[in-house]
Amino acid sequence: MDIQSIKNRFGIIGNSPALNFALQVAAQVANTDLTVLISGESGAGKEAFSQIIHALSARKHNSFIAVNCGAIPEGTIDSELFGHEKGSFTGAVDSRKGYFETVNGGTIFLDEIGEMPLGTQARLLRVLETGEFIRVGSSKVQKTDVRVIAATNKDLLEFTQKGKFREDLYYRLSTVPIRVPALRDRKEDIPLLFRRFAVDFAEKYKAAPIQLDDEAKEVLINYAWPGNVRELKNIAEQMSVLASDKLVTAQEMRRFLPADRDINRLPVLAPSAGSTNGHEFANEREILYKLFFDMKKDVTELKKMFVEILQNPGMAMQNQALLNELKNKEVLSPAIMPSTPATSAQPVVIHHDDAIHHHEEVEESLNIMDKEKELIIKALKKHKGKRKDAATDLGISERTLYRKLKEYDIKE
């Protein structure tokens, strides 16, 4: 089946190369029994790909079940997947079949596989390798013939490095990886999707479909869409009900978009060649922004304090505590701190000569790359070159820290 036929059959809208490639891989792997790992951000449509693979496979007439691993409590997920025997735990009043038993011959879609507990991961690995499982509280080995499709919005490879996911299971699941592109990575599809949703909701609410002027379309396309297709559909429904005019302008469009989440309005760091994890990169950027703004606030307070001291020398003693606090925050270097013996309680003396009245404000560097490099060097010094501790202190992964060391040519 060609790509366009798949789109028509399953209601897939879009023509971006990344989307077409993902659909092509799904179609090619569908008629095999290979395990598939679908990755992509929340709301990007990963479950739709699992349904496409099942519907185009030889198992299409057998059962298909979707299981959200993150929604099942850790204490009951083994029972849900593999079943249990009567009396195997408190509340087990009867024997129960698990999904791997009831869906025998069909397909199981394990969504949010990264949330699966490590103990359950070991059981799943055995099923994938041997087709065998054991009910909770039983010693009888049972056979099953189930095709597993897994999905995640996490970086499972990074999870394996942190010990949160089994490395052998990761490589067993990702026999065929499919990457579902985020909506912001296929901007040309956004107007098409919005128009489709607008028509659907117009029929649902028995009203004329809303339309966008050219400027409103630009706003729509340039929004970051952190919630992907799911968020776009929600916005389209809100506008279909609440828009004051059926021809929506850019100004009205902005009323429906949460501006505080529009990351396109913030300055961004250029991604490095080895960067593959957009979420991780965004988190680093947020941490850096907060540090920079806090530093700028401290510097502003320092400037204000010195002006007051120049005008009133008697205030020097009162500001000694603030000087010490700023020194502890490393806003002031020892070179510019007033020299005061540790045991002395003498006030700081500032001589009013011509030199001190003539001063210039030197604009501090706010280059993000420079600040990031400086923070990494400080963290390494603080933890005596231990990458793991430095990465934890910086709020990034050890792998990302290693990449940054190469990128900035930092010698440890």
**CA distance linking residue 46 with residue 183, whole number of Å:** 12
Q: Could you say which architecture CATH assigns to the domain 185-264?
A: Orthogonal Bundle (1.10)
- The answer to whether the predicted template modeling score (pTM) of the entire model surpasses 0.95 is no
- What is the H or E stretch that residue 151 is in? strand 147-152
- Confidence at 311, pLDDT banded by 50, 70, 90: low
What residue ranges do the domains of the chain occupy? Answer: 3-181, 185-264, 272-412
Angle between helices 214-222 and 190-204 (to 10 degrees): 110
C-alpha pair distances (Å), 5 with each of 17, 36, 51, 315, 412: 16, 22, 15, 79, 55
- Confidence at 363, pLDDT banded by 50, 70, 90: low
> Tokens for 356?
């001190």
**CA distance linking residue 372 with residue 390, whole number of Å:** 13
Tell me whether domains 3-181 and 185-264 share a fold.
Answer: no
Rg value, the chain, Cα: 29
Q: Residue 378: what pLDDT?
A: 86
**CA distance linking residue 45 with residue 231, whole number of Å:** 11
Contact (Cβ atoms closer than 8 angstroms) between residue 110 and residue 151:
yes
**CA distance linking residue 409 with residue 231, whole number of Å:** 40
- What is the H or E stretch that residue 178 is in? strand 176-179
In sequence order, the β-bridge partners of residue 190 are none
Contact (Cβ atoms closer than 8 angstroms) between residue 58 and residue 64:
no
Distance of CA 64 to the CA centre of its chain: 28
Question: What pLDDT, in 10s, does the model give residues 24-74?
Answer: 999 999 999 999 999 999 999 999 999 999 999 999 999 999 999 999 998
Q: Could you say which architecture CATH assigns to the domain 3-181?
A: 3-Layer(aba) Sandwich (3.40)
**Angle ∠(205,42,201) on CA atoms, nearest 5:** 10
DSSP 266: S
Question: What pLDDT, in 10s, does the model give residues 288-310?
Answer: 655 666 666 666 666 666 666 66
Question: What pLDDT, in 10s, does the model give residues 220-243?
Answer: 999 999 999 999 999 999 999 998
